[in-house]
Amino acid sequence: MRESFKKIAIIAHDGKKAEMVGFFKDHIDQLTGVEIVATGTTGSHLAKAGLEVDAKLSGPMGGDAQIAAMVAEGDIDAVLFFRDPLGKHPHEPDVQMLLRLCDLYDVPLATNPASATLLLNGIDVIKAKAKVE
């Protein structure tokens, strides 16, 4: 189990971007002290919502692959990926690579608001535990 969560990646398919922005507006306090990395378009939406973001390339232009590489290098502590299960995505191989690397390197991955809530709540517990110790 990870002892700290300093950097998380946030990604959202186009059909989920509005839902993602609403989610993070509601959970902005839980992101205090966490560095956020995002794909390009997702990052611009998050920045407009008031979050500081290190935006990579847009997903179809290689952003998912950039974040996957960061996962493989141990630079990402968790991934929150608001996926659109009904849409077609030309960069699906990059998405699958990212999901595979999260599994391979045991990086927590949330793919919908319910699992993202659980992941953020878990991060809060770990932060609180670290303060006590």
Say which CATH class 7-132 falls into: alpha beta
5-50 tens-digit pLDDT: 799 999 999 999 999 999 999 999 998 889 999 999 999 999 999 9
The dihedral through the CA atoms of 37, 105, 12, 29 has a sign that is: negative
pTM of the prediction?
A: 0.92
How many Å apart are CA 126 and CA 72, to the nearest integer?
Answer: 23
Binding residue per annotation — 41? yes
pLDDT for res 3: 65
pLDDT in tens, 85-107: 998 888 889 999 999 999 999 99
Is 13 known to sit in a ligand binding site? yes
Active site residue 77: no
Candidate list 14, 64, 94, 103, residue with the active-site label:
64
